[in-house]
Structure 1
């Protein structure tokens, strides 16, 4: 059964491909992207004030480095962004020599290691990979991924999760909690069947996995054993990624998209591309800062 919770529109601007939300509790600021349009959004949760920043390139995720800087995951590499003026400087290239790919879902491990997904610009089969930025070095973890999504981690950092939306499979892998690097091979945690596909995900303070269901208009909640617990309605069919926000991390920001929708589909889906806040009654965890070196 689809559960309804109090829901508000945080940003009415319609993202072509909204993705990569994260929250900085130090400043009560949420950040997310419109990948296709090369935009970064910034919202103060308490006031609801929203700003948009033109990046000039496709980007999909960010990690906080410190109070002054962010690490932006973009189509051709990782960039350090100065928050005060928005200036970007290349930190490391990533698949910059392959114009067929771009970045996608990414998230910071509790150790500060940054897992980063890439994919084909047209979702070509097996063209993407999942990497780890660890101590200033980019390490390829999992090649031959079509649409990497649902990258997230258990609260103690011992388990990593990721999905290939093309397969509709969510994987789990045992990690070294000190490094965020795998200690074994990925295993299937669950296979989604039915409407929609596995998209972005985040883990709450109890270790439950909150996964946006692309094409399903909801966020599904799973136990760490893969048991389905809840389905919470989102007022846009193409929900793309969640993040816990707010002073007590008890609200869920969910991005969405209008990608591949014709005018009839848009008319039938009034919330398409908007960004929402859901009062879900569960606490999340603050995202760790990304570490650029030892």
Structure 2
């Protein structure tokens, strides 16, 4: 089942499966902005990542001397969410703990993903994680929206596009060795100059910028043209910019993360995990970003 949000400019489709954003289409131009999950390249569109972002070492972690197994990006993206509310301009979808989640994640939680049309061409997404347990919970959360690049494949190619990051500065860039963060490989990324898309930049997986909660805007657009996407990230710890390197995949993902993969030297204890969030009982964590389509 799907939830539809709509105004005079865009129509938005969200699947109850994973609370995944599946489509954002312009009513004026007919442009479909979201990647349509062609399994030949990557069979998802905009999965929600919870309760981990990225890969755990050996797909496992420990909590209170017990080992748990969890695959990359966690389980939220593969579960059915409840539609708590749905109106023409906003919807709230919810996932709560169950016997199945408790077997791999020993915490009671409530994860709400809230979609809201904030203007004619802007969709906001908010994550609200509530601790309904009697002990602190540990988690990461994040988005993984991927956009059709090029937006007009008949006349454009991937390399015609660029991304631009504000603020303009030298960002710390985390590097992955395999699927894990390696601090010894940390480098920088200069955003004073827009980055032209090139598949060679993704040979070592995503371009991961450390944001440290600083408000950040990323424009993804075609050179000398007026269509694209602007993502405003309110308070994320990191952003990953990613596409397939070894295939001519016609998409680019811009991924705001409140968490990140394990480090190469992680000890496996979830309480020690790099980038983890710790939340006390009865408290709610929120993180948000928005996308403007032009």
Indicate the structure with greater strand content: 1
Q: Normalised by the size of structure 1, how large is the TM-score?
A: 0.27
| Structure of greater Rg | 2
Indicate the structure with greater helix content: 2
Q: Normalised by the size of structure 2, how large is the TM-score?
A: 0.27
